[in-house]
């Protein structure tokens, strides 16, 4: 029996299975979700079971990489609009935590190494822990302060369990505590998103502008005065696809696709709006097709020359929940859904071409996927040397983001650009969800086992005062973040939950937030705040060592 229980993989998947089952149980309408794995792992860890550190690290890598890929297509647009807000939220949270750490360190006469560990654990930031350990090891050489890197881990181990568990529980109850209705918040976000990225609609216009007489469709809007496209033409009783070479005549009725604002521009260009049925005839087909052919991805529509080669027109592109008006500079990406209009035989031939192999809809292109992970790990390992002479910091100090931080930043870029160089990355939604959820659970299993193994022994030897100190730092940080988000910016409750989890670099908290909504808003908010919060905490954990090492 002892030999069986010594199998690390058996222990891991026992924790995952039991924890997942516990997480699915509901009490008063609440469930733990992925956090059930964390609580199960705490119990296993208390009884001496262990999980290899490398397995835990792999889980964290998969989780942050999948989150980055999911958020990448929207991240930069969101950050451009709300970047200062996210910086303010991250700064308020992590700086308040640092000030609270200095306060408890002076009050309890804590050494700098233990205080830095408390700060890293109270804000659940493993990269900050690594940075603190690194600077303590360097400062300890020739120092009379008696610093010890082991004390950093002790402080981390004391503060970490409460911070992680309490935030998961807080996220579960936060909508009720703040008296915010999740469904209403979802509706508000959908309305805001429609304003920021309006859905495309179709309108009909009677051509009364004499300047349009005798002009080809391609000549009507040559400089893209309006980001809208003519898709169909009705002449008499006949309706046909608006191919680039068709010559328009007065009293033609045209169907135009675009946003409401862009369609209004086309009204001035073409003529008065009409409301008529423009169903295409049996010889013309309008079809929504998913792009799965690699040879057509990553190339602009002008370069593909759809009309010249395939005699079809694309009127809409739907990508990651966004509707895009196609232009010549627009490129196709794997997984896009496009609306194709043209003669029936041409559309059917093009559909077969762009579908490629049906199996590709369920396959992940592993080469760019793995290259992205490799690049992320390399980015996380690169030391960034800070300028000399900064107050409170030793000369020659260098920082590293760590594997998880590097993988997250690279995945945001890969998700945004759709690939790496000539390699186009397509990851089916189901595959991203699997990587995110499984990676999170594996990480929780490792983190819970480690915390469960050290929590009670450290508490017995160091006393409850240190636990209380970690609680003070956690509560101070969370309170500051909530005040800024709820009272300062009046943020959507779903965005608040995601941003708060990012400020505390708490993956299970994000899992609890996502479990409460069908939208991706918590993930987007998490992805927007996470990089800023991570970098600030890595820096502040090391600043604390420098500031407190000579404290009385």
What is the arithmetic mean of pLDDT over 140-146? 53
What predicted TM-score, i.e. pTM, was given to this entire model? 0.61
Are residues 264 and 217 part of one domain? yes
Number of Cβ within a 10 Å radius of residue 279: 9
Are residues 397 and 413 part of one domain? yes
Q: What pLDDT score was predicted for residue 282?
A: 60
Confidence class of residue 424 from pLDDT cuts 50, 70 and 90?
A: low
Give percent above pLDDT 70 in the chain: 75
Beta bridge partners of 30: 27
- If one compares 60 and 501, the residue with the highest pLDDT of the two is 501
What is the arithmetic mean of pLDDT over 229-244? 80
- Establish if 199 belongs to a structural domain: no
Q: What pLDDT score was predicted for residue 3?
A: 58
Q: What pLDDT score was predicted for residue 545?
A: 80
Are residues 178 and 50 part of one domain? yes
Are residues 366 and 352 part of one domain? no
Q: What pLDDT score was predicted for residue 552?
A: 53
Query: Parallel, antiparallel, or unpaired for β 30-31 and 26-27?
Result: antiparallel
What is the arithmetic mean of pLDDT over 343-348? 78
Residue with tokens 């495309």: 200
- Most confident of the following: 17-31, 93-107, 408-422, 452-466: 93-107
- Establish if 278 belongs to a structural domain: no
Is the pLDDT at 45 greater than 70? The verdict is: yes
Last residue of a domain, one of 322, 340, 356: 356
Count how many Cα atoms sit within 13 Å of the Cα of residue 116 in the half-sphere of its side chain. Answer: 35
- Establish if 204 belongs to a structural domain: no
Is the pLDDT at 191 greater than 80? The verdict is: no
Beta bridge partners of 496: none
Are residues 249 and 115 part of one domain? no
Q: What pLDDT score was predicted for residue 321?
A: 59
Confidence class of residue 101 from pLDDT cuts 50, 70 and 90?
A: very high
Number of Cβ within a 10 Å radius of residue 150: 11
How many domains in the chain? Answer: 3
Which of 35-39, 48-52, 53-57 has the weakest average pLDDT?
35-39
Q: What pLDDT score was predicted for residue 92?
A: 92
Confidence class of residue 364 from pLDDT cuts 50, 70 and 90?
A: low
What is the arithmetic mean of pLDDT over 528-532? 79
Are residues 421 and 301 part of one domain? no
- Establish if 316 belongs to a structural domain: yes
Residue with tokens 């010594």: 6
Residue-wise DSSP of 156-176: HHHHHHHHHHHHHHHHHHHHH
Q: What pLDDT score was predicted for residue 94?
A: 92
- Establish if 276 belongs to a structural domain: no
Determine the Cα–Cα distance for residues 374 and 380; give it in Å rounded to an integer. 10
The residue among 253, 205, 230, 200 whose CA lies nearest residue 313 is 230
CATH number at residue 349: 3.30.70.1450
Q: What pLDDT score was predicted for residue 103?
A: 92
Q: What is the pLDDT of residues 265-301, one digit of tens each?
A: 888 888 888 887 776 666 667 777 777 776 777 777 7
Confidence class of residue 95 from pLDDT cuts 50, 70 and 90?
A: very high
Residue-wise DSSP of 303-345: HHTHHHHH-EEEEEEEETTEEE---TT-B--TT-EEEEEEEHH
Confidence class of residue 24 from pLDDT cuts 50, 70 and 90?
A: confident
Give percent above pLDDT 90 in the chain: 6
- Establish if 500 belongs to a structural domain: yes
Confidence class of residue 467 from pLDDT cuts 50, 70 and 90?
A: confident
Are residues 311 and 252 part of one domain? no
Is the pLDDT at 69 greater than 90? The verdict is: no
- If one compares 71 and 165, the residue with the highest pLDDT of the two is 165
Distances (CA, A) of 462 to 126, 132, 288, 468, 544: 21, 20, 64, 11, 21
Are residues 367 and 345 part of one domain? no
Distance of CA 97 to the CA centre of its chain: 24
Are residues 483 and 407 part of one domain? yes
Residue 306 structural domain: 293-356
Question: Rounded to 5 degrees, what are φ and ψ at 519?
Answer: -85, 170
Question: Rounded to 5 degrees, what are φ and ψ at 232?
Answer: -140, 155
- Contact partners, residue 266, CB within 8 Å, separation at least 6: 203, 205, 221, 226, 228, 256, 258
Is the pLDDT at 307 greater than 60? The verdict is: yes
For residue 426, give the 3-state DSSP assignment: coil
Confidence class of residue 109 from pLDDT cuts 50, 70 and 90?
A: confident
Q: What is the CA radius of gyration of the chain?
A: 28
**Which contiguous run of DSSP H or E holds residue 239?**
strand 238-241
- If one compares 155 and 458, the residue with the highest pLDDT of the two is 155
Are residues 214 and 175 part of one domain? no
Write down the mean pLDDT value for the chain.
77
Q: What pLDDT score was predicted for residue 98?
A: 92
Is the pLDDT at 247 greater than 80? The verdict is: yes
Q: What pLDDT score was predicted for residue 97?
A: 93
Last residue of a domain, one of 331, 356, 381: 356
Is the pLDDT at 330 greater than 60? The verdict is: yes
**Which contiguous run of DSSP H or E holds residue 461?**
helix 429-462
- Establish if 16 belongs to a structural domain: yes
Are residues 380 and 258 part of one domain? no
Q: What pLDDT score was predicted for residue 102?
A: 92
Question: Rounded to 5 degrees, what are φ and ψ at 400?
Answer: -130, 140
Are residues 49 and 174 part of one domain? yes
Q: What is the pLDDT of residues 469-486, one digit of tens each?
A: 889 999 999 999 999 998
Q: What pLDDT score was predicted for residue 425?
A: 67
Last residue of a domain, one of 327, 356, 385: 356
Is the pLDDT at 30 greater than 60? The verdict is: no
Q: What pLDDT score was predicted for residue 473?
A: 93
What is the arithmetic mean of pLDDT over 383-406? 67
């Amino acid at each position: 029996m002892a030999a069986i229980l010594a199998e690390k993989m058996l222990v891991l998947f026992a924790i995952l299975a039991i924890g997942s089952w516990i997480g699915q149980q509901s009490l008063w309408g609440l469930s733990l979700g992925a956090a059930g794995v964390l609580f199960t792992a705490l119990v296993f860890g208390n009884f001496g079971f262990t999980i290899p550190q490398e397995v835990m690290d792999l889980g964290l890598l998969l989780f942050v990489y999948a989150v980055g890929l999911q958020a990448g297509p929207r991240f930069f647009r969101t950050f451009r609009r709300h970047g200062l807000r996210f910086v303010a939220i991250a700064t308020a949270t992590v700086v308040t935590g640092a000030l609270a750490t200095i306060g408890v360190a002076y009050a309890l006469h804590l050494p700098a190494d233990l205080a830095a560990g408390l700060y890293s654990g109270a804000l659940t930031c493993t990269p900050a822990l690594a940075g603190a350990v690194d600077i303590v090891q360097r400062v300890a050489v020739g120092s009379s302060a008696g610093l010890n890197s082991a004390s950093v881990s002790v402080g981390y181990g004391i503060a970490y369990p409460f911070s992680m568990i309490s935030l998961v529980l807080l996220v579960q109850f936060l909508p009720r505590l703040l008296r915010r209705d999740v469904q209403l918040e979802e509706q508000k976000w959908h309305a805001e998103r429609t304003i920021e990225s309006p859905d495309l609609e179709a309108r009909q216009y009677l051509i009364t502008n004499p300047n349009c007489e005798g002009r080809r469709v391609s000549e009507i809007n040559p400089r893209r005065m309006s980001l809208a496209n003519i898709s169909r033409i009705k002449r008499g009783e006949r309706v046909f696809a608006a191919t680039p070479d068709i010559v328009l005549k007065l009293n033609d009725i045209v169907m135009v696709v675009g946003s409401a604002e862009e369609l209004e521009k086309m009204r001035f260009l073409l003529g008065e709006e009409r409301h008529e049925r423009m169903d295409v005839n049996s010889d013309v087909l309008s079809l929504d097709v998913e792009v799965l052919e690699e040879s057509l991805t990553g190339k602009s529509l002008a370069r593909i020359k759809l009309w010249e080669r395939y005699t079809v027109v694309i009127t809409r592109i739907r990508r990651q929940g966004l509707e895009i008006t196609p232009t010549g500079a627009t490129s196709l990406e794997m997984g896009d859904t496009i609306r194709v209009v043209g003669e029936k035989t041409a559309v059917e031939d093009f559909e077969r071409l762009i579908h490629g192999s049906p199996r590709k809809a369920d396959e992940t292109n592993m080469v760019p996927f793995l290259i992205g992970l490799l690049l992320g790990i390399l980015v996380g390992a690169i030391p960034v040397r800070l300028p000399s002479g900064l107050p409170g910091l030793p000369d020659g100090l260098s920082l590293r983001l760590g594997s998880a931080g590097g993988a997250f930043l690279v995945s945001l870029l890969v998700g945004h650009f759709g690939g790496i160089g000539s390699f186009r990355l397509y990851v089916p939604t189901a595959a991203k969800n699997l990587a995110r959820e499984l990676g999170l659970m594996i990480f929780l299993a490792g983190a819970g086992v480690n915390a469960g193994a050290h929590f009670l022994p450290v508490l017995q030897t160091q006393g409850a005062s240190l636990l209380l100190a970690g609680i003070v730092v956690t509560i101070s940080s969370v309170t500051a973040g909530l005040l800024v988000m709820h009272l300062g910016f009046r943020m959507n409750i779903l965005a608040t939950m995601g941003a708060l989890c990012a400020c505390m670099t708490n993956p299970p908290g994000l899992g609890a937030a996502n479990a409460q909504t069908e939208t991706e808003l918590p993930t987007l908010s998490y992805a927007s705040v996470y990089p800023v919060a991570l970098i600030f905490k890595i820096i502040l954990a090391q600043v604390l060592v420098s500031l407190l090492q000579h404290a009385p």
